[in-house]
Amino acid sequence: MIRAALANLAAAALPFVLALAIGAIVLAVTGHDPLSVYALMASEAFGGTRRIAATLTATTPLLLTGLATAIAFRAGVFNVGVEGCFYLGGLAAATLGFWLVGWPAIAIIPVALLAGALIGGAWMVAPATLKVRLGVDEVVTTLMLNFIAVNLTSWLVNGPLLARGSANSATPAIEKTAELPRLLPPSTLHLGFIISLALVILYGFWDRFTVTGFRSRLVGLNARFCRAVGIDVPSLLFRMMILSGLIGGLAGAIHALGLVHRFVAGFSPGYGFTGIAVALLGRNSALGMILAALVFGALASSGATIQLFSDVPIEIVEVLQGTVMIFAVAKLGLLLRDRRGLA
Amino acid sequence: MNSASVLALALGATSAAKAADAPAALIIAQGGLGDQSYNDLAYEGFKKAVAAAKIEGKPVESKDVVAQAADILRRASDAGFGLLVDLEYSHGEALATVAKDYPDTKYVILNQVQPGANVASVLFQEQEGSYLAGALAALVTTDTSIPGINDKPIIGVIGGTKSVGIDKFIVGYIQGAHDVNPNVEVKVAYSNNFGDPAIGLQMAKAMYDEGADIVYQVAGGTGIGVIQAAKETGHYAIGVDTDQDGLAPGSVLTSMLKRTDVAVETVVGDYAGDTFPGGKTVTLGLKENGVALSDMKYTKDKIPAATLAKVDELKAKILSGDIKVWNAVDQGYPDFFK
């Protein structure tokens, strides 16, 4: 039992360790001392309350994009459209955030968050319908929908929703009442982190202890078996895809109300795609995804500020992120288990 | 104590003698270094200035730059940096908020004005460069010896949105055109979009159909379509912000440059020389070399020397103060453009 748990932990940590090793080689070759760079990164990610807060802020969107992805993945649906939902949810929430002038916080925040989630869910209706009715590959449809969502929001924010007099593609700032409260001022850590963390933990319980949670995992493992025992597989897949979209939209809405306080060009640097890596690295488990989101959050927050104290360019951090993602996809745990089986 | 704060202390110790010895950081905007445009240009100016002032200078890039505004600014301020130049437009409000908490640190924001005694805002006198672009266009549109020029004295301008920030360019352009030839008609249109080349292409083609032969674009990404239209129809476009002459060699008459490198170099130099313009708005115009027409590498040979000389003469008059170009942001709208 304990040995199995340790093996699981090793399998989950292995991609990160391998990435660090490869990153060290890249750093050494480019004339940096890997150990001192890693020490600097660690202190920039976790050294003191302010840096921890910055890391948790960077972790926040990844918790929910990871969760949105995992909910689809575990049911066997490879939804890669969370990025698009994130953009749309962010724009919807930001727009209500500056439209609903004079609304109290208690009304404007839930309405804007709900709108963001709903538009994300609605965005997934078409690919979900195409998947369950006509068997259209969801990878293709959801990937393509990302481009549409990004360009649609870009058009809206360059035209109808553009802030008056702004030289930048941005909506007006949201009302003060629409901003999610900050947890540790003056740091940027906001209530969205708690909401996101709570949802991932809730997912953990849903996964373990509810019938739908069990069924959707079962469908992911063996859809034919589920059909044979009478589970309504198409309906389940449809619902999981919509749920995935809802959470993706909510992620964007939280990012808009909690951190950016408006919708602006470059709203997401690819949180939806990093969410895929979070789900894969975390093996769709709540704890695994929290740790994985923390890893990518730490890389993002420290990656920017280590440049203040070293000559390490941002590309090195991107190499690290990319390597973690590659190894996250590989089922390295199998390798370990096979070895032990032989021995 | 972590290594970063040790370094910060070390940096702080060396800066005890004079405030302006503390290192400077340049926060790179979306698009990152290597964009061969805004960021690269600003970084060139930054490197030059920190080398000249013998202070340490660090560029900071982030894929997540929009979300990390306050986090990066606060980290650098905590760590004892003396000057933070922020190129990212969306950082405006965050910069003003952070600046309040660090009165000894200096902050610079470009293309917008933010409050604070330790904040310098840098604006460009775009109307001055636009004036020269308008004058050049008015001179060229009546010179049918130049290939692609019709006999109608019509030029155009396409703005990205109807706002005073964009009309600042347009007013200068119209003033320049009318000062050299009051009979030149300037068509004005707005794309209501900064990111759609297809709209720019369509609108510019419509203007060319109506007899315009030169169209100035003040519409960001939409303006790329204006340049494309000029190339397709054999007319001329005028580029904006960066040197766009090479996007369609021969079809871009000139570009109205905003010299971000000069801007950054100037403020870093002021900081090092203890003349930092805190609480002020620095406006860089023709005089400071902050705005300029491009070298016209691909079109110079088509244009008569007398025309180019006339534009230089107008530039000299602006520099000497004989010509005052209308600044729509400061002065409101003039009678000739409501």
* Predicted local confidence at residue B6, as pLDDT: 45
Place of tokens 């849903």: A206
Q: Which of B58, B163, B165 sits opposite A307 (nearest CB)?
A: B58
The Cα–Cα gap between A178 and A4 comes to 47
% residues pLDDT > 90 (chain A) = 70
For residue A340, pLDDT beyond 90: no
Q: Which residues of B47-65 are buried (b: 16+ CB within 10 A; e: fewer)?
A: bbbbeebebbbbbbbbbbb
Written as six digits, the tokens of B95 are: 């910069």
CATH 3.10.20.30 describes domain B129-257+291-331: no
Residue A168: φ, ψ to 5° = -115, 155
- Nearest C-alpha of chain B: how many angstroms from A78? 25
- Whether residue B77 contacts residue B89, with contact meaning beta carbons closer than 8 Å, is answered with no
Has residue B193 got a pLDDT over 80? no
Q: Are residues A322 and A305 in the same domain?
A: no
Residue B3 has pLDDT above 50, yes or no: no
Domain range list for chain B: 3-117, 129-257+291-331
Residues A26 and A69 in one domain: no
- Taking the CA of residue B2 and the nearest CA in chain A, the distance in Å comes to 6
Enter the tokens of residue A262: 């408006």
How many structural domains is chain A composed of? 2
Q: Under a CB-based contact definition with an 8 Å cutoff, are residues B229 and B220 in contact?
A: no
pLDDT given at position A179: 96
Identity (one letter) of the amino acid at A18? L
Q: Are residues A58 and A195 in the same domain?
A: yes
- 3 state SS of B257: strand
Query: In the structure, what pLDDT confidence band is assigned to residue A337 with cuts at 50, 70 and 90?
Result: low
Q: Residue B322: what pLDDT?
A: 94
φ, ψ for residue B58 (rounded to 5)?
-125, 130
Least CB–CB distance from B163: residue in A164, A261, A270: A164
Taking only the tens place, the pLDDT of each residue in B48-102 is 999 999 999 999 999 899 999 999 999 999 999 999 999 998 899 999 999 999 9
Is the residue at A42 inside a domain? no
Q: Using CA atoms, how far apart are residues A118 and A109, in angstroms rounded to an integer?
A: 14
Both tokens assigned to A180? 């999610």
Question: Tell me, what's the pLDDT at B17?
Answer: 39
pLDDT value at position B38? 85
For residue A61, the chain B residues in CB contact (below 8 A) are: 67
User: Within a domain: residue A174?
Assistant: yes
Task: State how far the Cα of B52 lies from the Cα of B11, in Å rounded to an integer.
Answer: 19
Closest C-alpha to B254, from B124, B117, B155? B155
Phi, psi for A42 (deg, rounded to 5): -60, -40
Residue in the structure block whose two tokens are 């995804």:
A289
The residue in chain A having the minimum alpha-carbon distance to the alpha carbon of residue B93 is A173
Query: Are residues B118 and B279 in contact, defined by beta-carbon separation less than 8 angstroms?
Result: yes
CB A305 within 8 A of CB B60: yes
Residue-level pLDDT at B5 = 45
- Mark whether A70 and A139 lie in a shared domain: yes
For the domain made up of B3-117, give the CATH fold: Rossmann fold (3.40.50)
What's the CATH code of the domain at A216? Answer: 1.10.3470
| pLDDT tens-digit readout, A148-157 | 999 899 889 8
Task: For residue A117, give the nearest of A310, A253, A258 by alpha carbon.
Answer: A253
Query: Which whole-number Å values give the CA distances from B87 to A145, B167, B192, in the listed order?
Result: 32, 23, 24
Closest B-chain CA to A300: B64
What is the rounded average pLDDT of the residues B273-288?
93
pLDDT at residue A145 greater than cutoff 50:
yes
Residue B21: what pLDDT?
Answer: 82
Q: What is the C-alpha separation between B130 and B315, in angstroms, rounded?
A: 11
Q: How many Cβ contacts (< 8 angstroms) between chains A and B?
A: 137
Whether A160 has a pLDDT exceeding 60, the answer reads yes
Residue B18 has pLDDT above 50, yes or no: no
Q: Do A186 and B193 touch (CB under 8 A)?
A: no
- pLDDT band at B334, cuts 50/70/90? very high
Q: What would the mean pLDDT of A182-200 be, rounded to a whole number? A: 96
| Of the listed ranges A40-44, A70-74, A322-326, B208-212, the one predicted with least confidence | A322-326
Res. A165 pLDDT band, cuts 50 70 90: low
Residues A12 and A111 in one domain: no
Residue A69: inside a domain = yes
The structure tokens listed for B31 are: 């698009």
Q: Which of B7, B62, B222 sits opposite A309 (nearest CB)?
A: B7
Residues in chain A with CB shorter than 8 Å from the CB of B163 are: 164-166
The answer to whether residue A39 sits within a structural domain is no
Q: How confident is the model at residue A77 (pLDDT cuts 50, 70, 90)?
A: very high
Please state, in angstroms and rounded to a whole number, the distance separating the CA atoms of residues A184 and A261: 17
**Mean per-residue pLDDT for B116-129?**
95
Please, is B10 exposed, middle or buried when counting C-beta atoms within 10 Å of its C-beta (0-12, 13-18, 19+)?
A: exposed
**B20 vs B241, higher pLDDT:** B241
Q: What is the pLDDT of residue A335?
A: 60
Q: At what angle do helices A49-73 and A271-281 cross, to 10 degrees?
A: 80
Which two tokens mark A19? Answer: 């990435």
pLDDT attached to residue B15: 41
B3-117 with B129-257+291-331: one CATH topology?
Answer: yes
CA distance A100 to A174: 9
| Cα–Cα distance, A76 to A8 (Å, whole number) | 21
Q: Model confidence over A33-59: pLDDT tens digits?
A: 999 999 999 999 999 999 999 999 999
Contacts of A173 in chain B (CB under 8 A): 93
Q: Give, in order, the Cα–Cα distances in Å from A28 to each of A185, A324, B145.
A: 38, 18, 62
- Do A335 and A258 fall within a single domain? no
Per the prediction, chain A carries an average pLDDT of 90
Q: A187 and chain B: CB distance < 8 Å anywhere?
A: yes
Query: Which pLDDT does position B194 carry in this prediction?
Result: 77
Q: Provide the pLDDT confidence category of residue A1 given band limits of 50, 70 and 90.
A: low
Examine residue A252 and state whether it is found in any structural domain, yes or no.
yes
Name which of A158-167, B49-58, B174-183, B279-288 the model is least confident about: A158-167
Q: What CA–CA distance (Å, rounded) separates B119 from A221?
A: 58
Q: Are residues A271 and A155 in the same domain?
A: yes
Give the residue-averaged pLDDT of B228-236: 96
For chain A, the first-to-last Cα distance in angstroms comes to: 19
Looking at per-residue pLDDT, the higher value among A339 and A253 belongs to A253
A102 and A180: one domain? yes
> Which range of residues forms the domain containing residue A324?
1-32+315-343
Q: What is the pLDDT of residue A166?
A: 67
The pLDDT of B197-216, averaged and rounded, is 95
**Are residues A220 and A332 located together in one domain of the fold?**
no
| Cross-chain Cβ contact B3/A40 below 8 Å | yes
- Claim to verify: residue A20 and residue A169 sit in the same structural domain: no
Do A283 and A332 form a contact (C-beta atoms < 8 A)?
no
| pLDDT value of position B28 | 94
How much of chain B, in percent, has pLDDT values that exceed 90?
78
Residue A186: asked if its preceding bond is cis (omega within 30°), the reply is yes
List, as ranges, residues 277-296 from A with C-beta within 8 Å of B: none
**Letter for the amino acid at A175?**
E
Please spell the DSSP secondary structure of B143-179, one letter per residue.
-TTSTT--SS-EEEEEESSSSHHHHHHHHHHHHHHHH
> What ipTM was estimated for this complex?
0.88
| Strands B252-258 and B214-218, bridge-based pairing | unpaired
Q: Is residue A37 part of a domain?
A: no
pLDDT tens per residue across span A217-269? 999 898 889 989 888 999 999 999 999 999 999 999 999 999 999 999 889 99
Which of A152, A80, A86 lies closest to A119 in space, CA to CA?
A86
Classified as helix, coil or strand, A100 is coil
Q: Is residue A40 part of a domain?
A: no
Question: Per the domain annotation, does A231 fall within a domain?
Answer: yes
Beta-ladder partners of B57? B24
